[in-house]
Amino acid sequence: MGLVFELVPKADVSIYPQYTTGLHAWFLNQVRAVDPELSAYLHDGESEKPFTISALDGELVSSGKLLHLFASNTHRWYVTALSKRVITWLGGMAKDFTNRSEFTQRISTVTVLSNFSPSCNLC
């Protein structure tokens, strides 16, 4: 099970190429706010990670040491749950993500497009 976030920046922005580290941290913070035990397991677990996150899918223009995203361009971000526990949590939180103030401050449109089912044995 997974979610597809559609993000449209309010203004042109520059980000570091390692921005996926921030996306990962944001995701774990969302989990921690609702289920601290699950967040700790996801962050500290020694086993394979029970979720994946993608890089942004959309136009990213490289300029020097930064990447540029332009206002009104749509970017998609995929979060995939690979364990039953994360599938359950992600399914329950899908609608709540669009109401997060972190999104609405800098992004004009946030849409959770759909649940999707990647091909995996656990899903």
Residue 100: its pLDDT value, please?
59
Burial class (CB in 10 A: 0-12, 13-18, 19+), 19: middle
* Residue 22 one-letter amino acid: G
Query: Region 98-120: what's the mean pLDDT?
Result: 54
What is the tens place of the pLDDT at every residue in 19-32?
999 988 888 888 88
Task: Spell out the long-range contacts of 111-115 with Cβ–Cβ below 8 A and sequence spacing 24 or more.
Answer: 111/5, 111/6, 112/3, 112/4, 112/5, 112/6, 113/3, 113/4, 113/5, 113/6, 113/76, 114/3, 114/4, 115/1, 115/2, 115/3, 115/91
- 38 belongs to a structural domain: yes
Tell me which residue range forms the domain holding 37: 2-115
Distance CA 54, CA 96 (A): 20
| Confidence (pLDDT) at 119 | 44
Provide the domain count of the chain.
Answer: 1
Given this model, what pLDDT does residue 56 score? 93
Q: The pTM is what?
A: 0.77
Residue 40 in any domain: the answer is: yes
Domain CATH code at residue 52: 3.30.70.1890
Residue-wise pLDDT tens digits, 31-67: 888 889 888 888 887 667 888 999 999 999 998 999 9
Q: What integer best gives the mean pLDDT of the chain? A: 78
Average pLDDT score over residue span 3-14:
84
Distances (CA, A) of 104 to 2, 16, 35, 37, 64: 22, 21, 23, 27, 28
